[in-house]
Structure 1
Amino acid sequence: MALHAMAAHRMRTLLTMLGIIIGIVSVVLVNALGEGSKRQILSDISAMGTNTIDIYPGSGFGDRRADAVRSLRAPDADAIARLAFVHGVTPQVQAQATARRGNAEKSASIQGVGEQFFEVRGQTLAEGVRFDHDAVQRLALDAVIDANARKALFAPHENPLGQIVLLGKVPVRVIGVTAPRKSLFGPAEGVTVWLPYTTVMGRLTGTQTLQSITVRVRDGAPMKAAEDEITALLTVRHGAKDFFTHNSDSVRATVEKTTFVLQLFISSIAVIALVVGGIGVMNIMLVSVTERTPEIGIRMAVGARQGDILQQFLIEAVFVCLLGGLLGIALALGLGWVIQLFVKQFQIVFSAGAIGLAVLCSTLIGLGFGFWPARNAAQLNPVEALARQ
């Protein structure tokens, strides 16, 4: 009976469902975009190295006296590496130099790192090998370059492995090229060259202290406990807390919290469209009750109870909203496919939970906004209803 009533007024039914369709499309797409963005950002964070703790000199980011603090040294990294929960440690120092090869030259960021750096940071090689512990010990002039350095200093089909590149006045031999990374924030444009940290300290900067230490914690180990133990160890070694730590898990938690709040805020705005659609359903159902008053009177006259009339109109309202919800989900999936096809930088992830929630919302709206018209229909006096024929 509900389907027959909907089919009898197709255009009115479609216009009634329009508000529900728009609301469902908004909710499903917002959730899919939010989930996709969150996964992409977390993937970028994981690509920089998961379960990592960075240690810097000073009291915190923005500390003007940090440059004067010369407390982090290579033995600190060795002491941290002996802790049970540590998977890998890499000291780090930085320098700037002009990279030259033939007529090509480019300003480069020189990163002095340990042999475990590429594993700690999740950096993979596209060509060649990375330097080992022996290279670190003997201050080897072995370099690993990034894809930008390869493009700037070498011809497209030229093999960079074994070639000599000048960093300032220091010649280094290229032994590896890192694979380019995809990032939500766009590709990196700078040129980066990685050398053993001992080489950078001994041959380029002449310093004896580190600028940072990065620690990768074993999977399953509690990050907060690991951070506390590292802090306690270095405080004892230095005699004071002249450093600060940065936990990658705090970044991950902040991203998840921020994206959830933003997603919830935008979804709440999209829900307004569902409420507007529900009001439209209620209005049309009230009009339908008025039009079909004689029909209601006849049904009551031949034995229909108030519960039967209430059920009939309530089911009709739920069917309108449920069908609108299904059409909205289908439209959202189609729009998501089109967006993904033409806008590559966005990742859209449709979750079964969000789709199920959309169906539940449309059903509840049908029940909520259809109850009043159905109740009015059920409480009609049969004699008055028949008199309106």
Structure 2
Amino acid sequence: MNEVLLEIAGVSRTFSAGEQDLTVLNDVSLKVHRGEMIAIVGASGSGKSTLMNILGCLDKPSTGQYLINGQDTSKMDEDQLAALRREYFGFIFQRYHLLGDLSAVANVEVPALYASEDKATRRAKAEALLTRLGLSDRLDHKPSQLSGGQQQRVSVARALVNGGDVILADEPTGALDSSSGEEMMKLLQELHKDGHTIILVTHDLQVAKFADRIIEIKDGEIKSDTVTNPKTETVNSVEFKKEKKATIPINSLFDWTRYLEALKMALTAMSSHKLRTFLTMLGIIIGIASVVSVVALGNGSQQAVLENMASMGTNTIEIKPGSGLGDRRSGRIRTLTASDAEILKTLPFVDSVTPTVRADVAIRYSNQALTGEVQGVGSEYFRVNGYTLAQGQYFDENSVDDLAQVAVIDSNTVASLFPKESALGKVIFLGQLPVRVIGVTEPRESAFGNTDALNVWIPYTTVSARIFRQNDVNDITVRINDSVSSTAAEQGIIKLIKMRHGVEDFFTVNTDTIRANIEKTSATMTMLISTIAFISLIVAGIGVMNIMLVSVTERTREIGIRMAVGARKHDILRQFLIEAVLVCICGGILGISLAFLIGLIFASSSSDFQMIYSTNSIITAFACSTLIGVLFGYLPARNAAKLNPVEALSRD
């Protein structure tokens, strides 16, 4: 007599049915010898399928003992049971249970993939089996392109790809016509002759007659066990010369080939459900595009403001009389003079200096009279404040010393007084003082003040001596070398002027501080809007999780098939987690691309500033999309990995 391969002793299986327990198997004992072909027969609901599920390690008995090669399965963990399904058993299901997204040869490869065989080896084995079964011309066909008989032969090849010492066939002819059914039974007989142990589950006695032994089960109990074709010799085929151990090989969690295969499976699943995948990505796309675009807009607006500031002079410090802006006593302080400006020029960190004296007077030319601001300034005023000359020339230091009656005007004044003629050389009156126009500045927009104001600049000595007859100045503006800290320079200026005046009767306005405040405010606004965009990313992540949970529900049967052919829990977890991460990464890439597209549209419009993209924001957004995939993909992936193989296979 052949040795015992499978043995169950006193096995019962109970299911919860509401408040009551339903016993499907009741104290069943059975021994299966190596090389037997057994048929388990019985009516629907008799417990035969439950018995097969327990024999195939798809289910566990509620009570009793199940031994495989003498090893107790109750002492094995989930991964070891998966190893048994993968390396010991081969399943042939009534409804074939092929993966619809994969070709015939890829379906056959699945158990070998989970056994960590290299691609070339498993492909060769799969092709050889399908060729042996007459499907050499159907290797690349998907299940929907195959007949029922062909699909069943693919499932047979899948059962044999890892050896399939024990073939478990659940109603193998139930979904086939009579001709295909006969072919299937002949195939099972051939496998039996090759040394495979065959266990059939059927309600058809004609199918059962092909077996060497018929076990009848009724109401969860074995009613008869009949040997129809007793064997006199031990089967010693090639498959059984080396006994297999019911243990699982320890494989590294960081086996990159497994991650690569999981990635390929994820890509296949995504490409097979393009609309669902895109809808899953949509929230991520919008969120990432929002974050990147908002930061780019913030950078662009900040840059525009700073450029406008630069048009007024960069890195400048203004010195004004009084204790601060709004000081009512400042008009009575007369200690700030042009000599202070001359002394400041000697400081090593000073680039240029100009005193300023202001006067609001009537500006007249011919029969036109306008009100504008006349500014008496030094020769370095235009460098200090970053003006660009459009026509003519600036007045020089000699003009300042000689109290010259010359003027430089801005484009607004030109437009108002000389709309149809050149302004150069013309004489205009500032109150009663005639001056000759020698230069015109380029038009520019200012970050502060009214850009429509009329500005006329003449030497400050001319204003002091010929208009106001005063010695003090309204303010002094100092431009600092770009390589010097404006804060340190400001302290040096304060120390020098305070020493000259003997008292601190002045205050300073550091435009670099204003610049820093603008940058800080812009960064704060960008952070605020980015936070809102980030919240949208979180919402998108929840959407990914919800759709992935729905996907797990929709693909429960697929998960059951993968588990039945030997997938471990972490194989399922890895596949679904990689799929979620891949969805989010692709969404991140599309989101960043959308942000750049928005930038192109923005650039083509008549915008006053352009979007400036931040590498850090792009990297952060991409990292966030990946993190969202991990965080919000883990729960659905874990749920998929926790599914019971029997329950999963029973889902439609």
Superposed displacement of residue 213, structure 1: 0.4
Where in structure 2 are the equivalents of 1:189-200 lying within 5 Å?
189-200=452-463
2:612 to 340, 345, 349: 349
Residue 20 (1) aligns with residue 319 (2): no
Residue 312 (1) aligns with residue 575 (2): yes
CA distance in 1, matches of 2:411, 2:643: 78
**Conserved 8 A contact 2:309-2:447:** no
Superposed displacement of residue 316, structure 1: 1.0
Q: 1:134 aligns to what?
A: 398
**Conserved 8 A contact 1:184-1:345:** no
Where in structure 2 are the equivalents of 1:358-377 lying within 5 Å?
358-377=621-640
Q: 2:374 aligns to what?
A: 110
Quickly say closer, same or farther: Cα 1:235–1:186, change in 2 above 3 A.
closer
**CA offsets per residue over residues 28-49 of structure 1, 9 Å max, x none?**
1111110001111111112211
CA distance in 2, matches of 1:140, 1:350: 50
Residue 297 (1) aligns with residue 560 (2): yes
Higher helix share: 1
Residue 272 (1) aligns with residue 538 (2): no
Where in structure 2 are the equivalents of 1:8-87 lying within 5 Å?
8-87=272-351
**Conserved 8 A contact 2:311-2:445:** no
CA distance in 1, matches of 2:473, 2:446: 28
Residue 231 (1) aligns with residue 501 (2): no
Q: 1:254 aligns to what?
A: 517
**Conserved 8 A contact 1:96-1:110:** yes
1:51 maps to amino acid: N
Match of 2:372, SS?
strand
Match of 1:283, SS?
helix
Residue 7 (1) aligns with residue 271 (2): yes
Match of 1:188, SS?
coil
Q: Does 134-143 or 213-222 show the bigger shift?
A: 213-222
Match of 1:236, SS?
helix
Greater relative contact order (Cα < 8 A, sep 6+): 1
CA distance in 2, matches of 1:240, 1:187: 35
CA distance in 2, matches of 1:323, 1:85: 53
Q: 1:174 aligns to what?
A: 437
CA distance in 2, matches of 1:337, 1:353: 20
Superposed displacement of residue 343, structure 1: 4.0
Residue 91 (1) aligns with residue 360 (2): no
Q: 1:385 aligns to what?
A: 648
Quickly say closer, same or farther: Cα 1:24–1:187, change in 2 above 3 A.
farther
Q: CA RMSD in A?
A: 1.6
CA distance in 1, matches of 2:362, 2:542: 67
CA distance in 2, matches of 1:359, 1:61: 47
Unaligned runs of 5+ in 1: none
**CA offsets per residue over residues 54-90 of structure 1, 9 Å max, x none?**
0000000011111111110111111111112111110
Superposed displacement of residue 99, structure 1: 1.4
Q: How high is the sequence identity, in percent, across the aligned residues?
A: 55
CA distance in 2, matches of 1:388, 1:58: 85
Superposed displacement of residue 185, structure 1: 6.7
1:384 maps to amino acid: E
Q: 2:451 aligns to what?
A: 188
Match of 1:246, SS?
strand
Superposed displacement of residue 293, structure 1: 1.6
**CA offsets per residue over residues 244-263 of structure 1, 9 Å max, x none?**
01111111110111111111
**Conserved 8 A contact 1:181-1:187:** no
Unaligned runs of 5+ in 2: 1-264
Q: Does 318-327 or 83-92 show the bigger shift?
A: 318-327
CA distance in 1, matches of 2:635, 2:448: 51
**Conserved 8 A contact 1:40-1:184:** no
Q: TM-score, normalised by structure 1?
A: 0.96
Residue 212 (1) aligns with residue 475 (2): yes
CA distance in 1, matches of 2:566, 2:587: 33
**Conserved 8 A contact 1:115-1:136:** yes
CA distance in 2, matches of 1:220, 1:61: 28
CA distance in 2, matches of 1:33, 1:338: 13
Aligned length in residues: 388
